[in-house]
Amino acid sequence: MSLLSDLVNLNLSDSTKQIIAEYIWIGGSGMDIRSKARTLPGPVSDPSKLPKWNYDGSSTGQAAGDNSEVILYPQAIFRDPFRRGDNILVMCDAYTPAGDPIPTNKRHKAAKIFSHPNVAKEVPWYGIEQEYTLMQKGVNWPIGWPIGGFPGPQGPYYCGVGADKAIGRDIVDAHYKACLYAGIGISGVNGEVMPGQWEFQVGPVEGISAGDQVWVARYLLERITEISGVNVSFDPKPVPGDWNGAGAHCNYSTKTMRNDGGLAVIKKAIEKLQVKHKEHIAAYGEGNERRLTGKHETADINTFSWGVANRGASVRVGRDTEKEGKGYFEDRRPASNMDPYVVTSMIAETTILG
């Protein structure tokens, strides 16, 4: 095993100028992250300088077998915390050979919205609170839980310390550092209310980069749990009953919201979100009805509400924002399995272009 570890950790810069680029994309389910690697002649820092690539879309549920070629367009580059050196991770989106975005390419539409002049001038910032649950491999049950049984009730686990409360901290800390190394704007982590459940935050990040960074952070988490021998679940309600679900709260602000008088702009934006509540709910993740019940720090899925410092509302405005008369708000409706390209661009479209 030591030889294998040595080979995995080889520093390629000692013997070659070539680098390894890991191309990452989203598969047909909308949540399955795929990747494959290729050799490049030397370091690259600009995605536009990277070659396009292709893959078999019939094996990812994104193309028919008799016309299976899908083309990857490199969109964002991150440092590779696994291979290190000049090796890179490349976030891509997917197109037909004719250059049309495939139906599951949500980034393309999001990029159009963020490039709209009215959106661009507002410099939209996002902070995504990505919750997830660490699961025992081979069984659909959280780590640290007895098989077929339950731990003690919720209460001591949120931001808890100790082997019986902070279950999986080594994975969480490894992921935190990997994100920082990669260049992701990860701003924090914490243990969540249900044991085995954790959260990381990405942001504030502007525009389309928020989606890129959340997806690559998810990729890193999948890779680290792969190494650790556990699974990660983004199911919005992994355990039925009196246990918290998992969300991906989206904190959002625009330039005018952050300036003096911004609270009035925030209230107008919330009114627009209320009008399109059903459309947003439909796009905020599958299975969200199991989470948004009006219990466990959620609002009922069928009713829009907002309030100051209210974690039982659809949208929460912070005390600091109310006090200063400017700032941001938090859309608490998105599920943990939401697509960050869809959610971030939809909020901008509704509040700025709506």
- pTM here? 0.97
What is the C-alpha separation between 331 and 284, in angstroms, rounded?
A: 11
pLDDT at 2 (0 to 100): 82
pLDDT at 83 (0 to 100): 96
Which residue, of 58, 74, 104, is where some domain finishes?
104
Both 134 and 282 in one domain: the answer is: yes
pLDDT at 235 (0 to 100): 98
Both 137 and 273 in one domain: the answer is: yes
Which residue, of 60, 75, 104, is where some domain finishes?
104
Number of domains in the chain: 2
pLDDT at 354 (0 to 100): 87
Q: Which residues does the chain have with pLDDT short of 70?
A: 1
The helix, strand and coil proportions of the chain, stated in percent and rounded to the nearest 5, come to: 35, 25, 40
Both 267 and 140 in one domain: the answer is: yes
Assess contact for 37 and 43: CB atoms under 8 A. no
Tokens of 66: 């008799």
Both 190 and 83 in one domain: the answer is: no
> In terms of residue numbers, what domain contains 284?
117-353
| Beta carbons within 10 angstroms of residue 295's beta carbon | 13
Both 189 and 282 in one domain: the answer is: yes
pLDDT in tens, 171-184: 999 999 999 999 99
Both 8 and 133 in one domain: the answer is: no
Q: What CATH number does the domain containing 263 carry?
A: 3.30.590.10
Q: If phi over 0 gives left and psi between -120 and 50 gives alpha, with beta otherwise, what is residue 309? A: left
Both 258 and 162 in one domain: the answer is: yes
Both 138 and 32 in one domain: the answer is: no
